[in-house]
Amino acid sequence: MKTYDVIIIGAGSAGLSAQKKISQQTNNYLVIDQSPLGTTCARVGCMPSKAFLQTAHDYHRRLIFGDLGILGEETLTVDLPRILSQVRSLRDHFVASILKNMESWRDKHFIEGQAHFIAKDTIQVNGRSYKAKTFLIATGSSPHIPEPWKKFSTFTLTTDNFFEQKTLPQRMAVLGLGPIGIELGQAMSRLGVSVHGFTKGHKIGNITDPQITSQAIQTLSQEFSLCWDTPQIQQTQSGELTLTTGNTSCVVDKVLLATGRKPNLDTLGLKNLEIEWNDQGSPRLDENSLKIHKAPIWLIGDANQRQPLLHEANDEGSFVGEQCLKKNPPPFKRRTPLSIVFTQPNMATVGKTHQQLQKENINFVTGSVSFQNQGRAQLSRENQGALSLYIDQKTGHFLGAEIFAPAGEHLAHLLAWSLDQNATVSELLSRPYYHPVLEEGIRTALKDARKKMHTEKV
């Protein structure tokens, strides 16, 4: 049997990034994917969700038209079937571009099918065996379906089928208010769906800072109902669902399950191999190489549950694709942490979160700004939200930030790139701030931190 240099299992973002690097080193490789092709990002993730959110945010903006002197907003309506269909056509455009990029190597190197390991150096696909020196598992992840919901499957949606809907019902519940739940919850609500959000504990999006969390909850709960518990489920006689927490309940037509994603590892036959497992039931990885201990198998992208973010998946794929054939690869170095949730205002975290800083017992001061009275935010009628910067109390170094602010995605990049350069408060204050811009809010927060560095006790 022929032995391949590399077999990549999974043609998603991580797998394709790896393929690009591997194809520069060898022709003796295979990519296996059970389809549909096109990546989680383009098919059911980043791209369709952002297209959907865009319409929601644009439509919501009508509410300030009167103040601005634009008349007639009350006659604007949304056509949900058309919105979902334009989301799908944008999605198709992005998927097509990914498939086009695969064309040049697809015939020679791609096999459609489900792979499972029968030995550390052999997989089976469609009943045939393939041997390789190196395997890259990049099988991605799938929405997690909580146990109690399995019997209500006619009522439940996940991101796998959400964008396939021809329209949306009048009343929706969203289970889980992490990044996906809060984004789609707000968007559906802005598009006229009556939305009830449920999550366990007062945590929202990607935010850990109690002050920013409370700002976000206060702002978003003006748009749709947020409930901080897991509901009891009951089907009504008229074919709807009643969701009950404590002594309140609501009736909904469908439920979007957004309670996290689990890695797609179950069908890979990894249990057949003599490898080590961690407490979460995943293969034990070397963090420096992303390689499974005692096997020539790397685990990259969402499948390894490290950082289920597109840019991190690409980085892992590129790194492992570049290094897995080499003798003494350098350790994998992650970029400065950056996570963004595309609600309005945007949520974002940069560097160390508030939670991490507390856990690590780091001595920091928090510089804060509210955007309620920020000049540009007032001019553009987006004066909601707040931003917290964390500064090392002793050295003045910038450590991280949590953001719930207009143009938060841009402010987050600015701060993440600054963190990358190990900047201090005074260095950041010496940067140019144009006028009138939202970035001036960062300056206010920095000045607040500088004052606290001098007044708060170490």
| Spatial distance between the Cα atoms of 312 and 289, rounded to a whole number of angstroms | 14
In the list 171, 203, 311, 447, the residue contacting a second copy (rule: CB under 8 A) is: 311
Question: Residue 162 interacts with a second copy (CB under 8 A)?
Answer: no
Closer Cβ to a second copy, 280 or 434, answer by number: 434
Question: Residue 105 interacts with a second copy (CB under 8 A)?
Answer: no
Show the site string, 201-220: x = touches a second copy by CB under 8 A, - = not: --------------------
Question: Residue 178 interacts with a second copy (CB under 8 A)?
Answer: no
Contact 217, 227 (CB under 8 A): no
Measured between alpha carbons, how far apart are the two ends of the chain, in Å? 67
Question: Residue 41 interacts with a second copy (CB under 8 A)?
Answer: yes
Instruction: Tell me the window of 18-26, 75-83, 247-255, 318-326 that interacts with a second copy (CB under 8 A).
Output: 75-83
Contact 284, 277 (CB under 8 A): yes
Please choose, from the candidates 221, 240, 125, the residue with its C-alpha nearest in 3D space to the C-alpha of residue 182.
Answer: 221
Contact 329, 303 (CB under 8 A): no
**In Å, what is the CA distance from 122 to each residue of 263, 268, 292?**
21, 11, 15
Closer Cβ to a second copy, 264 or 314, answer by number: 314
Shortest spacing between CB 323 and a second copy, in angstroms: 16
Angle between helices 46-60 and 80-109 (to 10 degrees): 160
Question: Residue 432 interacts with a second copy (CB under 8 A)?
Answer: yes
User: What token pair was written down for 55?
Assistant: 């319409």
CA dihedral 100, 102, 108, 112 (to 10 degrees): -100
Contact set for a second copy, span 317-346 (CB under 8 A): 335-340
Closer Cβ to a second copy, 6 or 309, answer by number: 309
Shortest spacing between CB 412 and a second copy, in angstroms: 7
Shortest spacing between CB 177 and a second copy, in angstroms: 20
Contact 279, 266 (CB under 8 A): no
Question: Residue 100 interacts with a second copy (CB under 8 A)?
Answer: no
Shortest spacing between CB 310 and a second copy, in angstroms: 4
Closer Cβ to a second copy, 263 or 351, answer by number: 351
Question: Residue 180 interacts with a second copy (CB under 8 A)?
Answer: no
Contact set for a second copy, span 43-72 (CB under 8 A): 46-47, 50-51, 54-55, 58-59, 61, 64-65, 67-72
**Residue 228, Cβ density class (10 Å: 0-12 exposed, 13-18 middle, ≥19 buried):** middle
Question: Residue 430 interacts with a second copy (CB under 8 A)?
Answer: yes
Instruction: Tell me the window of 79-87, 157-165, 216-224, 356-364 that interacts with a second copy (CB under 8 A).
Output: 79-87
Question: Residue 356 interacts with a second copy (CB under 8 A)?
Answer: no
Contact 387, 405 (CB under 8 A): yes
Question: Residue 24 interacts with a second copy (CB under 8 A)?
Answer: no
Closer Cβ to a second copy, 68 or 118, answer by number: 68
For 207-263, the DSSP string reads ---HHHHHHHHHHHTTTSEEESSPPEEEE-TTS-EEEEETTEEEEESEEEE-S-EEE
**In Å, what is the CA distance from 426 to each residue of 80, 180, 200, 342, 353?**
49, 36, 40, 30, 21
In the list 112, 223, 253, 409, the residue contacting a second copy (rule: CB under 8 A) is: 409
Show the site string, 226-265: x = touches a second copy by CB under 8 A, - = not: ----------------------------------------
In the list 407, 425, 446, 449, the residue contacting a second copy (rule: CB under 8 A) is: 407
Shortest spacing between CB 73 and a second copy, in angstroms: 7
Contact set for a second copy, span 280-309 (CB under 8 A): 309
In the list 25, 28, 90, 325, the residue contacting a second copy (rule: CB under 8 A) is: 90
In the list 293, 294, 431, 451, the residue contacting a second copy (rule: CB under 8 A) is: 431
Shortest spacing between CB 292 and a second copy, in angstroms: 26
Cα torsion 61, 64, 69, 71: sign: positive
Tell me the site size for a second copy, rule CB under 8 A: 71
User: What token pair was written down for 417?
Assistant: 């790139």
User: What token pair was written down for 401?
Assistant: 């930030």
User: What token pair was written down for 155?
Assistant: 């009522």
Shortest spacing between CB 359 and a second copy, in angstroms: 22
DSSP 306: S
| Spatial distance between the Cα atoms of 3 and 231, rounded to a whole number of angstroms | 52
Question: Residue 96 interacts with a second copy (CB under 8 A)?
Answer: no
| Spatial distance between the Cα atoms of 271 and 140, rounded to a whole number of angstroms | 18
Cβ atoms within 10 Å of 283's Cβ, excluding its own: 24
Q: Contacts for 126-130 with beta carbons within 8 Å, 24 or more apart?
A: 129/1, 130/1, 130/4, 130/7, 130/30, 130/32
| Spatial distance between the Cα atoms of 231 and 245, rounded to a whole number of angstroms | 5
Show the site string, 359-398: x = touches a second copy by CB under 8 A, - = not: ----------------xx-xxxx-----------------
Shortest spacing between CB 113 and a second copy, in angstroms: 28
Closer Cβ to a second copy, 19 or 424, answer by number: 424
